[in-house]
Copies of this chain bind each other. A is one copy, B any other.
């Protein structure tokens, strides 16, 4: 039966298989409980075997990020920079929702990985094709920041928790605990002001997709205005208009 066990993992390891298994494991178990040892076990292999395919854990994480970013749709060309950029960012967002550990992992790495650079490079290309000067395109990329990759870096983002400790756990909405509401009245008011149409799936009080698109369009529209008026950084500093 030792043969059986061996047969089960006959297919030899490969960098690609390691990366895919790692992404799947992080998706399911959360990045927090993801370790070289757990990944090895998942693959039916001894931990050190991984090091024949990956230099170390950091490099593995880089590879995982590249796998994820590789899932983002290529840009679908069309008239106008704005819809093209917008569509691709929303595609990126969909991908990152499937891999909720990825935003934190991306930010925790200190160097952008090749796939991220490639992604950003094409995004700049879209801007340039849309009539942006390199100058303005530069600032736009900074202004968009991680939103360019489809995540929004909220300060309390429930979906964030999922990336940490495992797949979506059905915590109740966990509204403001009354005592906190007294200390932070403005936050309480805001939290209960969930006034988008009540077509939202669960009465969650806050539609993440809506918030994301709201912020995205706010930025894109502001950017378009700058482009139209031929903004340059040598204009009046400190004031945008």
Contacts and interface: CB of A to CB of B under 8 A. Distances in A.
Given A118-B184, A143-B215, A161 B110 contact: yes
Interface in A199-234: 206, 210-211, 213-215, 217-219, 221-223, 226, 232-234
A191 to B, nearest CB: 8
Interface residues of A, number: 74
B104 A190 contact: no
A145 interface: yes
A139 interface: yes
Nearest to A232: B195
Interface stretch (A19-27, A39-47, A150-158): A150-158
A112 interface: yes
A39 B144 CA distance: 37
Given A118-B184, A134-B193, A156 B112 contact: yes
Interface string A136-148: 0111011101101
Contacts of A164: 110
Contacts of A116: 155
Counting every copy of the chain, the complex holds: 2
Interface in A88-141: 104, 106-108, 110-112, 114, 116-118, 120-122, 124-125, 128, 133-135, 137-139, 141
A120 B218 contact: no
A111 B211 contact: no
Contact of A139 (B120, B124, B156, B214): B214
A219 to B, nearest CB: 7
A241 interface: yes
Interface in A176-207: 180, 183-187, 189-191, 193-197, 206
A124 B190 contact: yes
Contacts of A222: 218-219, 221-222
Contacts of A152: 142, 145
Contacts of A194: 138
12 contacts: A110-B165, A112-B155, A121-B183, A124-B189, A133-B193, A135-B195, A139-B214, A143-B214, A146-B154, A149-B155, A195-B232, A217-B238
